[in-house]
A and B are shown apart, each in its own frame.
Chain A
Amino acid sequence: MGMTIAEKMLAAHSGHDTVVPGQLIECATDWVLCHEITTPAALRMLEERGMDRVFDPQKIVAVPDHSVPAMNIKAAKMYQKLKSWVQEKGIEHFYDVGRGGIAHVVLENTGLMKPGQTLVSGDSHTCNAGALGAFATGVGSTDLAGAIYAGKVWFKVPETMLIRVTGKTNPGVTPKDIVLEVIKQIGADGANYMVMEWVGDYIDQLDMEGRFTLTNMAIEAGGKTGIVAVDDTTRAYMQQRGVSPEQYTEYQSDPDAKYKVVVEIDAAQVEPTVAYPHIPSNGRVAGSDRIRVTHAYVGSCTNGRITDLRDVARILKGRKVAQDVQMIVVPATQAIWKQAAQEGLLEIFVDAGASVSYPSCGACLGMHSGVLGPDDICISSSNRNFVGRMGDPSAQIYLASPATVAASAVEGFIADPRRYDAEGNDLNAAD
């Protein structure tokens, strides 16, 4: 019987020729990604049990990202715990504040994580790295502790949902809209415990940045991970990071692989989509209701990449953020920050009246640097709009693409970005 790409990777990492959904396996982890919020709890579990060791310091990537730069003394202590462990265990892949950014986006750019490899991290958006043709999934602190100690994690082999996206999107429609549309269709538990495998000619022509946005959001449909198989785009991306095809294994799903569900998406039918409060599956067409916004946020591991910032700059160039709106733009990593500066994007943001912040997860989870207050209404390029996610429980969070966030920031209301063409011209402007 044929296997899916996920099944092939899990078989290869558990010493089996084949695996089938439902089978329990002990899976070797090529990489363990550690940030300062969930790692200290895992380390304490190991210390309490006399298991304070690291399976291989060369296979751990540590990136403080949630509460950095520390916003209070408690956060500073969490950072210290991660850093002292890194130093004590000789973990070389440490991307400190000023040299890193948001862990998932840092990792995808290092060239360390390769196609065909496995990754776990104590963070639900670990599925992000599946766009590399890899198997990456988030776990809690106990499983993270096990992976740090043993380089292994137990899995029940998941079933796979095939999502085939065909055709071309209309201008102003982005990968974020595609994934919000899929989650709207299948529900916030529509892929519970399934792999979301993305295929189709839309995916074939999509850049790596867009693919990461798709796989990053797998968890918002309950997915174990999202995967895009390796193709020339992936190979070129890895080559740019000094990694040649001989250095990794490519897996492709067999033609007779079994899928639990097949979802068909016609890209041309997808409209700019906004997930209304308080669940990511609550999608509606951008601008279909007149909703005033007080805050606009561009950033996060979902949509803080250079392509996202270009989308925002296209619309903000020569315009101002509406008087009543506070806009924050957060490049996801130091490297993206630098590139945005070189391309003149940061200047466009500042001229428009947006605050450009340092790479961090802070505002996305209501921790610091942009926490929402009572009754604030935020249009956000991030991934979750649960009650209290970004601050006060009375705040309203609307999830959207960076382009929709930018258009909304300019207009002061949730807006349809299709009003602006590829050069940022306002198609509705009278002239």
Chain B
Amino acid sequence: MPRIWKFGDSVNTDDILPGKFAPFMAGEDVFQTFAFHYVRPEFAAQVQPGDVLIGGRNWGLGSSREYAPQALKKLHIGGIVAPSFARIHYRNLLNLGIPAFEYDLTELLEDGDEVTLDAQTGLLTYADGTVQLPPPPEFLREALKEGSILEFFKKHGRFPGEEPGAEASTETASAAE
């Protein structure tokens, strides 16, 4: 059964994948084995598909390097849940199709707790109950149905979220937030 990996505040991209283990440094096939190499050295060897990473605020601060979330994708994690994400990293997670949920589970769950996470609905089940996590924005789920924003653009000639010629409206704004 998938388990929780619990981290603290301000997990940065150098924590997730140190720059010296970038794919072109460590090798395209093995760079993911260095995920959390310094802060959780056992992580890459022990993580199982579907495991859920939880952390505190500002998850993913630092570099724009997309190979940090790529390493987690290669390890088939089930998702990341944190009360806030750094913006470039959040985009990267969504663009790669890694479920990311803005929610604080650090009070509720401990490292090693067994959970299941339905990435589509955001329903997380743990030993004592369930938590409904806020799902990613609709427009990105739309994109991920096509594979990524790249396939979406290739097919539709635009990015998801804005219809061509659409005018600004407060409805759009509140929906996006």
A-to-B contact residues, CB < 8 Å: 11, 14-26, 37-38, 40-41, 45-46, 49-51, 74-75, 77-78, 122-124, 126, 138-143, 145-146, 149-150, 152-154, 156-157, 188-189, 192-193, 219, 222, 224, 279, 365-367, 384, 386-389, 391, 393
Contact = CB atoms under 8 A, between A and B. Distances in A.
Interface string B12-54: 1011001110111100000000000011000000000000000
A109 B149 CA distance: 33
Contact of B162 (A24, A41, A46): A24
Contact of B159 (A38, A152, A389): A152
A21 to B, nearest CB: 7
A189 B162 contact: no
Contact of A146 (B84, B149, B168): B149
Interface in B123-177: 139, 148-151, 153-154, 158-162, 165, 167-170, 172-174, 176-177
A386 B20 contact: no
Contacts of A367: 19-20
A38 B150 contact: no
A154 B57 CA distance: 24
B162 A386 contact: no
Given A124-B64, A145-B150, A192-B58, A140 B168 contact: no
Given A224-B87, A387-B14, A46 B58 contact: no
A384 B66 contact: no
B88 A139 contact: yes
Nearest to A153: B159
Interface of B: 10, 12, 14-15, 18-20, 22-25, 38-39, 57-58, 61-67, 69, 84, 86-89, 91-92, 95-96, 139, 148-151, 153-154, 158-162, 165, 167-170, 172-174, 176-177
Contacts of B25: 74
B22 to A, nearest CB: 7
Contact of A22 (B23, B86, B88, B176): B176
B58 A189 contact: yes
Contact of B61 (A21, A46, A222): A222
Contact of A123 (B64, B95, B153, B177): B64
A231 B158 CA distance: 35
B18 A388 contact: yes
B150 A45 contact: yes
Contacts of A365: 19, 63
Contact of A366 (B20, B88, B95): B20
A271 B114 CA distance: 49
A9 to B, nearest CB: 14
A279 B170 CA distance: 37
A24 B167 CA distance: 11
Nearest to A141: B66
Contacts of A37: 22, 24, 65
Given A140-B92, A146-B150, A389-B14, A156 B176 contact: yes
Which of A14, A40, A124 has most chain B Cβ within 10 Å? A124
Q: Is the interface of A mostly helix, strand, loop or mixed?
A: loop
A156 to B, nearest CB: 6
A24 B161 contact: yes
Contacts of B159: 26, 146, 150, 152-154
Contacts of B67: 41, 141
A138 B154 CA distance: 22
A49 B154 contact: yes
5 contacts: A40-B24, A154-B161, A189-B58, A193-B87, A222-B61
Contacts of B95: 140, 142-143
B88 A124 contact: yes
A14 B92 CA distance: 22
A20 B168 contact: yes
Contacts of A51: 150, 154
B58 to A, nearest CB: 4
Nearest to B90: A193
Contacts of A18: 168
A26 B170 CA distance: 17
A51 to B, nearest CB: 6
Contacts of A25: 161-162
Give the 3 A-B CB pairs with smallest separation, nearest first: A24-B161, A140-B66, A189-B58
Given A16-B168, A142-B150, A188 B58 contact: yes
Nearest to A191: B87
Contact of B165 (A15, A50, A126, A153): A15
A149 B150 contact: yes
A188 B89 CA distance: 14
Nearest to B61: A188
B55 to A, nearest CB: 12
A20 B150 contact: no
Given A22-B174, A49-B151, A222-B61, 7 more contacts: A16-B167, A24-B161, A37-B22, A122-B64, A140-B91, A366-B19, A367-B20
Of residues A140, A145, A388, which shows the largest number of chain B Cβ atoms within 10 Å of its Cβ? A140
B126 to A, nearest CB: 27
A122 B57 CA distance: 24
Contacts of A41: 23, 66-67
A386 B173 contact: no
Nearest to B92: A140
Give the residue among B65, B66, B84, B92 with the most A Cβ atoms within 10 A: B66
